[in-house]
Amino acid sequence: MANVKFEHITKRYGDVTVVSDVNLDIADGEFVCFVGPSGCGKSTCLRMVAGLEEITEGRLYIGERLANYVPPKDRGIAMVFQSYALFPHMTVNANISFGLKIKKVPEAERREKIKWALDLVDLGGLGERYPKELSGGQRQRVALARALVLSPEVLLLDEPLSNLDAKLRLKMRTEMKRIHKMVEATVIYVTHDQVEAMTLSDRIAIINLGQLMQAGPPLEVYARPNNMFVAGFIGSPPINLMQAKLEERDGKLFVVTPDFALSLPEDKAAKARAWGGGPQDFGELSRAVVLGARPQDIYETAHAPAMPWTGNTIRAIVDVMEPLGDAVVATVLAGQQVLQVTLPPETEAQSDRPIDLIVDLSNIHLFDPQTEEAIF
Amino acid sequence: MSATVEVTEGPVLSKAEGRRRSINWGTIGWAVMLFLAVFAILLPIYIMFKTAIADRASIVTGGRYPEPLWPFEPNLDQFGVLFGKKDFITSGLFSLWVALLSVAFALLLGTPAAFALARFKFPGMGVLALVIIGIRLFPDVASAIPVAEWFMKPPLVYIPALIQVAMAHALVSAPYVVYICQGVFATIPKDLEEQAEIMGASKLQAFINVVIPVALPGMAAAAIYTFLLSWNEFIFAYYLLFQSTANTLPVYMMRLLTWTPQRNYLAALAVVLSLPVILFTFLVQRYMIAGMTAGAVK
């Protein structure tokens, strides 16, 4: 068991900075997902924890120990590569016992541990097979068993599910969670799939362009994104982001787009006024913002729950409907704004017909268009 | 009714097409050229086999009748004579030992270099790889002289002849080993080594326990290539064994030629010399090609 601490971690290749000043404290036994687009530096972060990449600047602690210069084998870690990296010339048993053999674990104990690991990943009886005789899902499990058998303090997983087909991926996702509950190791899990990250982790670390954008529990980063990137990356379908302005009308603060206006509830209006240093009057001087509203927070008026506000309706025309079974994702046009809205399956909306929408104002977000930081 | 008509028309059409294809003169021309090439390549091998199993009357005709295409009384007598000769056996064993040792030397010398070329990036690497393989463009006769001279002086002169020849042969084949193995190593994902290291292996343990076994088929191609190269090699062995009583088989054969023995005896020796080559070529050609292309693609 060990915590992992990133202190101002930076990685450069020559002049190119791939990871920049990452600070993160991962608690003992925590399941943390590094998520971000391809090439954002999340895998590099993982490889630095593994000791496969040198750390250019900053300190990395595993447990209470400074680990910058500790070789991989002494870090108390185990890793599952995206490619699984199974040794093709060894049977499943030999693959799993490789690390134990090197650590000179006696044979009887080794056999016991192999059995435990194979049972854990539900692969009992396949020990004598070679990797090429296994399906993709089975290989993935072998890789996992091989990592777990070393009883690592920190388990590193680099996109472990990305080579599986969609159905198997869902199954293994559940499996991962179950296994984590059983082994209680600290897990760092790299993925580009935000749904995977949301469902698996205790905490998500969203990384973009080598920088840690936000780290927090899944529901927190979903409900309170720090910035536009996080808001856009987390959530499916993605949040609707629109250029807008803040305007004061009759003592109330409105978010105004060319096609509709939403009146801000008091608490949000206060935050908007406080933005940029102190109470402001937007009467004369309107200020540009970016409005964010999740598809799940925009309702069809006919099916909306009761809301305590007025001035939160949008009239639009339905463009495309995509039924998912439990919901319908509708792409609608509000003037020039293209919005995605999640509607209930019993919706009467039809393509090319008008639709009345109502926005849950308690969940909308405003961002500073310059810094892309969240105002609320 | 109409359906039946359509059915019968189909095959008629395709038959006409088949006929047109069968009188394609271009294809016939290519086939003839292919046949000529195969004929020219196989002719010496045919003569060698035929002569090796020939009885005396089939090769000593005195001009009274043409030499038959197949011996009158094929027999293996000359092989018996050959294997009854002590100097042939000693030369054969000498050749075998030289070849095996040269494989060991060439692999020991070549694989680490190949691994370095495949795994690490350093300036001038491309040039280095080119030089290593380009060395082989020098004529063997030209490089045999400096090598022989080197081996004739102390300290190398004190090395036994067997090892001298094996070392020289390893020198010739090492570039090929580097070239082939580099290609093989390049196809082995780095993940495998990193995984081994994370699991507690040192870099050397990862190399020996993971990289080498995975590379084995490709390395086998390099090893066989080295073996055959040594088995066939004449120039270096000839110079290095000039003052020695030991012979490799090609050198032994050359020395036999100086007293012009019976042709079927010589041909039998030629067959024995060729057998490992033919055997290996058929047995492991798949690996050889795999090894070669692995090297070539990189």
The minimum CA-CA distance between B271 and chain A, rounded to whole Å, is 38
Number of A–B residue contacts, CB under 8 Å: 56
- B6 pLDDT higher than 60: no
pLDDT in tens, A309-354: 888 899 999 999 999 999 999 999 998 899 999 999 998 889 999 9
Residues A14-41, mean pLDDT to the nearest whole number: 93
Residue from B121, B195, B203 to probe the interface with A (highest A Cβ count within 10 Å): B195
Strands of the A65-66 sheet, one edge to the other: A16-26, A4-13, A57-62, A65-66
Cβ separation B198–A52 shorter than 8 A:
yes
Chain A environment of B196 (Cβ under 8 Å): 87, 98
DSSP B19-41: HHHHT-HHHHHHHHHHHHHHHHH
Cβ separation A81–B194 shorter than 8 A:
yes
Mean pLDDT lowest among A61-75, A104-118, A244-258: A244-258
Of B192, B202, B213, the CB nearest to A85: B192
- B297 pLDDT higher than 60: no
3-class SS of residue A375: coil
* pLDDT for position A115: 92
Q: Nearest chain B Cα to A80, which residue?
A: B195
Of B194, B199, B214, the CB nearest to A150: B199
Give residue B296's pLDDT band: very low, low, confident or very high (50, 70, 90).
very low
Chain B environment of A99 (Cβ under 8 Å): 199-200
Cβ separation A81–B197 shorter than 8 A:
no
Cβ separation B200–A89 shorter than 8 A:
no
* pLDDT for position B283: 73
Residue from A73, A144, A151, A158 to probe the interface with B (highest B Cβ count within 10 Å): A73
The minimum CA-CA distance between B177 and chain A, rounded to whole Å, is 22
* pLDDT for position A274: 85
pLDDT in tens, B51-63: 888 888 788 777 7
* pLDDT for position A149: 92
A102 touches chain B (CB under 8 A): yes
Helix orientation angle between A136-148 and A107-120, rounded to the nearest 10 degrees: 130
User: What is the interface pTM, i.e. ipTM, of the complex?
Assistant: 0.84
Cβ separation A73–B197 shorter than 8 A:
yes
Chain A environment of B220 (Cβ under 8 Å): none
